[in-house]
Homo-oligomer: A and B are copies of this chain.
Amino acid sequence: MSIAAPLDRSLVEQIVREIVLAQVGGPPGKPNLVVSVSARHVHLTDQDVETLFGAAHKLTIAKDLYQDGYYAAEETVMVVGPRRRMLPTVRILGPTRPESQVELAFTDGISLGIDLPVRPSGNIEGTPGCVLVGPKGVVELKKGVIRAERHVHMAPADAEHYGVKDKDHVHLRVTSSCSTVFEDLLVRVGKKIKLEVHLDTDEGNACDIDHAASVELLRP
């Protein structure tokens, strides 16, 4: 069990918050469990990147994320809600995707005035929209503003270890000064994926993940 040093607070607000708790040194064959906290962020299509940042613009990598090939970009956008309330600098995560999507915590949704639906990433039919403002243009999203359903990424070998399959659900127990069991994390199995739980900032703050002593996945 080792805990990475928390990010400097100012950095936390600059870039996607990624607190990592790694459970290491268990019995042979036990997968290392990493819990990451994602602050509010945006995924964009290639087209929306060009509209917001200029023709032929490509995202610039600011920081690699734990999963290979994924990154926090240098670029940020302003997210504007229905009553012209806004979040001025919301980080973009790369790479680009087939559909643009905004992932917020409920705390963010309350400040924007958007009643967020809880959805698995990519499942955005019927969700609220918003306006994105970049340095070179504006995009009106008709849908795609969600609170991401808590989930855990894992490789087929991890799924076998835990006795679960893709789209099953597991619980996460966090032991801290504010110990909490998050129930029903969606299991997403993929090849070349590292074992990693994604919580949002409300969840990470509720259980004080920054100072957690241990994390554990439990079958319901």
Query: Residues on A close to B: CB < 8 A?
Result: 9-10, 12-13, 105-107, 110-111, 113, 115, 118, 150, 177-184, 201-203, 205-208
Query: How many copies of this chain does one complex carry?
Result: 2
Q: Once the chains are docked, how many angstroms separate the CA of A107 from the CA of B204? A: 10
Chain B residues within 8 Å of A203, by CB = 178, 206
Most B Cβ at <10 Å: residue of A9, A105, A177, A182: A9
Closest to A112 in B: B9
- The distance from the CB of A113 to the nearest CB of chain B, in whole angstroms, is 6
Whole-angstrom distance from the CB of A205 to the nearest CB of chain B? Answer: 4
Find out whether the CB atom of B118 lies under 8 angstroms from the CB atom of A177: yes
A12 and B205 within 8 A (CB): no
Contact yes or no, A113 B180, CB < 8 A: no
**Contact between chains at A182 and B183 (CB < 8 Å):** no
> Closest Cβ of chain B: how far from A159's Cβ, in Å?
22
Top-10 shortest CB links A-B: A106-B205, A206-B206, A181-B181, A202-B205, A179-B183, A203-B206, A202-B206, A118-B177, A107-B107, A107-B205
Distance (whole angstroms) from the CB of A37 to the closest CB of chain B: 11
Q: A16 → chain B, closest Cβ, in Å? A: 14
A-B contact pairs, 21 of them (CB 8 A): A9-B110, A9-B115, A13-B110, A13-B111, A105-B107, A105-B205, A106-B205, A106-B208, A107-B201, A110-B205, A118-B177, A118-B208, A150-B178, A178-B184, A178-B203, A180-B180, A180-B183, A181-B181, A182-B206, A203-B206, A206-B206
